[in-house]
Structure 1
Amino acid sequence: MRVAVIGATGNVGTAVLDVLGRTSDITSVLGISRRMPDTEAEPYSGCEWRSIDIAAASSQDTAHRDLTEALTGADAVIHLAWLIQPNSDRGLLRRVNVDGTARVAAAVAAAGVPHLVVASSVGAYSPDDSMDKRDEAWPTEGIRSSHYSVDKAAQERVLDDFCADHPEITVTRLRPALIFGAPAASEIQRYFLGTWMPVQLLRAGRLPFLPLPAGLRGVQAVHSTDVARAYVASVLRRRSGAFNICADDVLHPKDLAELLDHGRHIPVPNGAVRAALSMGHSSSLVAADEGWLDMGLNVPLMDNGRARRELGWDPEYSAMDSARELLKGMADGEGAASLPLRPRDPEQPQLRTTDDTSTGHEASDAGGEHSEVDMDLLGLYLSDHLTGATAGAERIERMAADFVDTPVFAALSELAAEIRGEHPYVRHLIGELGLRRRPVAEALSWVGERVGRLKSNGSLLKRSPMTLVFEAELMRSAVIGKLGMWQTLEGNAEALGLDAEQFRGLAQKAEHQREVLDTVHSYARSRAFRRDRAVYDQASGVSPVRGD
């Protein structure tokens, strides 16, 4: 059986690939995602891959053509692609989440695929303030103040229409509760809390009490592995209709507080919590908006009996165990080898000496033994580059976020992850050589980059067409400067007792980064100053700009 998974690099997609890879009835898997994972890492290595943008920056015709071609020959399609952020761009979210589902369904029909499995959600359900558990017959009109819930309800209507038009195709809808698991820990922090939130402090101590909304009846959750097993069971059993997917236990306020080892909680008026969340989101301190609270307080508790009976599915993890694993994963900054699931902190770099060791003492001693190297001057030089690298890493990550609705997003996002991973390498190099850093300059550079975001580029209320051109030029200059640093280090590596090959490889990587930015700049400059073309026109049908 051949299965295609759309949105295969996220939390659920990664877990689904893992379960599919361990299922004997599955003979081949096609992963489809806008951004490619590390295809040499598990569970991504066992799949074929296609980069397809279903709706963010593609025309309907382009998406239909690419999806139909990719899905032809599949026995089942699992559609998981869904945008959580940016909250502020409702047009983008609606286009990807609702229109994207319609495009996938149309391509499934055109490709002759007999089975479509779609990720719906508990968020699709209409409000309920009781403690009764509801089955799949509960209305799916959503929670009106939650954009996520509104779009999930709209997705259900898309599927209703598709089922009416294509009765020959089996359509399965899974409605999971909150999905927890360690690999998604850093992603959940970014999407709902914010990168600045010091969740690693969970390792050191506990809150004396847990403030919770007074109206919280309980939280249902499911482990990512369990929900993946439900998707695979849906493919194998080919049952139509909706299925609630959740663990058997409900996390009540006392249970949530017990996750912090004490069980003490304080009820806070719902209005006060909502106002605080609204203020935190509007000031960019918290990633989630108040709609997420509204949904959490109002969705019904689900009954998972139909999934047990018809899919042969049973949860292996309790909601409490899943939540504990998530909290530990957030404290440790866990993730996986895809951009959505990237860990909070890049892996600690290893500095290679001429003896092929990675001990800092040998590198520092080697440098000190060669009087021809002015270590003070070298320290100043590398510290200046580290200062620039701090601003550069921030800039490229912001570029990727700002241009999510353009064909260059995937290339910028992959480039941002690569550049962010190099930043600690420079910091590590300075420390291993025993050189002095300038943290004040780094902090000022970080602040300066953010202040620079306030420039108008001739447009105060929306993005200027010139912005992408200008940003690409600034980043290209920064990468060229970094290339010079790697070349300088390569030329002095022997005197420092370091392996020159590592710097040669980094210089080649910088050349590739410049080429990617050249391509981004070419796309932007061909459109920014033309009245007959749009830089931010998702219906342009322009092929995605790749970094490879």
Structure 2
Amino acid sequence: MKVVVVGATGNVGTAVLRALRDTGEVSEIVGVARRLPGEDVEPYSGCRWESVDIAAASTADDVVQQLTDVFRGADAVVHLAWLIQPNSRRELLRRVNVEGTERVAAAVAAAGVPHLVSASSVGAYSPDEARSRGEVVRRDEGWATDGVDSSHYSADKAAQERVLDQFAADHPQVVVTRLRTALIFQAEAASEIQRYFLGSKVPVQALKLAKPLALPLPKGLVLQALHADDAGRAYAAAVVKRAPGAFNVCADDILGPKELADIVDHGRFVELPPAAVRGAVAAAHSAGLVAADAGWIDMAMQVPMMDNNRAVDELGWRPLHTAAEALTELLDGMVAGVGHPSPPLLPRSPDDAPLPVLGEPAERGAEAGSAGGEVETAHDVREQFSKELLELYLSDHLTGATAGANRAERMAEDFVDTPVYPQLARLAQEIRAERTFLRNLIDDLGFQRKAHRQAAAWAGERIGRLKGNGKILERSPMTMLLEADLMRSAIHGKLGVWQTLRDHAPALGLDPQVFEDLIEAFLGQEKLLDEVHQYARQRALRNDRTTFWD
């Protein structure tokens, strides 16, 4: 069987690839994503990859044609692509999640694929009044799927169900399977889930040092969860069995307050009025302290508990992990900042992200660059170099790298709805990793980093966001052009430090080839920025073209 997986690099997609690789009936896997992973990393190796933006910054006609070409000859298409953030871009989320599903389904029909397997969710279900009475009743797939109106995720999942209903009615020759999964957890997705739901300001890692005296929870909260590996196995079973209709997929156990508190460690909890918890989350989200909005609380408090018997009976599937085990693994992963080398799953700390030219974490970059041994200290090279000048030179470049990394990451966030987002996201990842490499190299050489300069760079980059661009309360079409101009200058400055370190590498006890590789990486980054600049300059100053896709 040939299987195409759309949205193959995230939490669920990574698990589905693992499961399909272990499924004897599957002989070929094609991965589709907007940002492609490293193809030398499991489970992405061995797949053929296609970069397609299904709806963020693309037309329906173009995408359907692209996907049709990718889908031809496939026995099944598994559609997993879904945008969780940014919460503030409601129209963008709807376009990617609902219209994106319409486009994938249209390409399935056009390519003659006999089977579409789509990711639905417990979030598609209508509220269950039993929840408000404190009752736990397991509902089967016949429960209504009108969603929870105040949750954008739930509303879009319900709308996606209508798209699948219509497609199934219009194309009876295509078997349509939808998996309504519980919350899906695994360690490798820990940092992604923290970014999407908690954000960087919630100090989950503090749980290494201490536990809360009691876990605060909204009264009546109960949850179902699923380990990602069990989700992957369910998708693989659906592909092989080719069974039509909806399937609830969840672990057998239900997590109530006591179980949740036990996972945190001590078993103590305090129940709070749900309205108070909702208000607190809404305020924290508005203040930028928490990534998720209050709609997630509404959904968690209202959706039914699922009965997974149909998946067990008809797919021959059974969960191998409990919900408690899945959540424990996730929490441990969050505390440790665990991730995986794909664009959505990167670890929390940039120190743990791969530096592409070295093929390993940037934290080890300086050590990997040493010439067959330990990096020499500043004392060892003092007679050949002016320690003061070399220290200042490297520190000044670190200051520039700090500002550049922040600017690149902001550009990727701001321009997610443009066709050049993949280039910007890749550039941001590489620049951040190189900044970490330079920081650690300075430490290994025994030099001072001059932290006050890094703080000034951080502040200056944020003040720079207030530059005049002709708009106050909305994005200016000129912003991308200005930012691309600045970033082109910035990376040319970075080229200078790599050239200088290459020339002096032997005397510093470093491997010159590392810096040759970084210079080569600069050429790739220059090409990426040229593509961004070309896109921006053709649109930014004209009334008849748009920079953004909204």
The TM-score range, normalised by the shorter chain, is over 0.9
Counterpart selection for 1:271 from 269, 275, 280: 275
1:351 is matched with: 366
1:121 is matched with: 121
The count of aligned residue pairs is 534
- By how many angstroms is 1:456 displaced? 4.7
1:170/1:355 CA distance change after superposition, 3 Å: closer
- State the alpha-carbon separation in 1 of the partners of residues 109 and 541 from structure 2: 40
- By how many angstroms is 1:197 displaced? 2.6
2:520 pairs with 1:508: yes
- Equivalent pairs: percent with the same residue? 57
Counterpart selection for 2:386 from 354, 374, 392: 374
1:77 is matched with: 77
Counterpart selection for 1:189 from 178, 188, 194: 194
Q: Is the 8 A contact 1:354 1:494 kept in 2?
A: no
- By how many angstroms is 1:352 displaced? 5.2
2:179 is matched with: 174
2:301 is matched with: 297
- State the alpha-carbon separation in 2 of the partners of residues 254 and 316 from structure 1: 22
- Structure 2: 5+ residue stretches without partners: 131-135, 353-360
1:212 is matched with: 217
Equivalent position SS for 1:405: coil
2:287 pairs with 1:283: yes
- State the alpha-carbon separation in 2 of the partners of residues 61 and 28 from structure 1: 27
- State the alpha-carbon separation in 1 of the partners of residues 373 and 159 from structure 2: 55
Q: Is the 8 A contact 2:397 2:497 kept in 1?
A: yes
Counterpart selection for 2:249 from 218, 223, 245: 245
- By how many angstroms is 1:147 displaced? 0.3
- State the alpha-carbon separation in 1 of the partners of residues 365 and 155 from structure 2: 47
Q: Is the 8 A contact 1:366 1:495 kept in 2?
A: no
Query: What is the one-letter code of the residue matched to 1:90?
Result: R
- State the alpha-carbon separation in 1 of the partners of residues 380 and 59 from structure 2: 58
- CA deviations on 1:313-352 (whole Å, 9 max, x unpaired) are 1000000000110011111111112110011122222325
Equivalent position SS for 1:120: strand
1:59 is matched with: 59
2:331 pairs with 1:327: yes
44-53 or 266-275: which moved more? 266-275
1:33 is matched with: 33
Q: Is the 8 A contact 1:349 1:424 kept in 2?
A: no
1:543 is matched with: none
1:363/1:499 CA distance change after superposition, 3 Å: farther
- State the alpha-carbon separation in 2 of the partners of residues 451 and 192 from structure 1: 27
204-213 or 465-474: which moved more? 204-213
- By how many angstroms is 1:120 displaced? 0.4
- By how many angstroms is 1:302 displaced? 0.5
Q: Is the 8 A contact 2:369 2:514 kept in 1?
A: no
413-422 or 82-91: which moved more? 413-422
- CA deviations on 1:84-126 (whole Å, 9 max, x unpaired) are 0010011110000000000000000000000000000000000
Query: What is the one-letter code of the residue matched to 2:501?
Result: L
1:155/1:363 CA distance change after superposition, 3 Å: same
1:418 is matched with: 430
- State the alpha-carbon separation in 2 of the partners of residues 336 and 352 from structure 1: 22
TM-score by length of structure 2 reads: 0.95
Counterpart selection for 2:160 from 148, 155, 162: 155
2:23 is matched with: 23
- By how many angstroms is 1:354 displaced? 8.7
Q: Is the 8 A contact 2:16 2:236 kept in 1?
A: yes
434-443 or 464-473: which moved more? 434-443
Query: What is the one-letter code of the residue matched to 2:107?
Result: A
- CA deviations on 1:208-230 (whole Å, 9 max, x unpaired) are 110111231x1100000000100
Query: What is the one-letter code of the residue matched to 2:342?
Result: S
TM-score by length of structure 1 reads: 0.95
2:96 is matched with: 96
Q: Is the 8 A contact 1:476 1:514 kept in 2?
A: yes
- State the alpha-carbon separation in 2 of the partners of residues 298 and 269 from structure 1: 14
509-518 or 299-308: which moved more? 509-518
1:430 is matched with: 442
List aligned pairs for 1:507-526, cutoff 5 A. Answer: 507-526=519-538
- By how many angstroms is 1:531 displaced? 1.4
Displacement over 4 Å in runs of 4+: 352-355
Counterpart selection for 1:135 from 137, 140, 162: 140
- By how many angstroms is 1:502 displaced? 1.0
- By how many angstroms is 1:205 displaced? 2.1
1:13 is matched with: 13
Equivalent position SS for 1:73: coil
- State the alpha-carbon separation in 2 of the partners of residues 177 and 5 from structure 1: 20
Q: Is the 8 A contact 1:54 1:103 kept in 2?
A: yes
2:234 is matched with: 230
Q: Is the 8 A contact 1:353 1:497 kept in 2?
A: no
1:487 is matched with: 499
Q: Is the 8 A contact 1:185 1:329 kept in 2?
A: yes
1:341 is matched with: 345
- CA deviations on 1:506-545 (whole Å, 9 max, x unpaired) are 112112212211110111001111111111136xxxxxxx
- State the alpha-carbon separation in 2 of the partners of residues 99 and 386 from structure 1: 43
1:491/1:263 CA distance change after superposition, 3 Å: same
Q: Is the 8 A contact 2:378 2:387 kept in 1?
A: no
- State the alpha-carbon separation in 1 of the partners of residues 369 and 243 from structure 2: 61
Q: Is the 8 A contact 2:56 2:549 kept in 1?
A: no
- By how many angstroms is 1:6 displaced? 0.1
Q: Is the 8 A contact 2:115 2:242 kept in 1?
A: yes
26-35 or 439-448: which moved more? 439-448
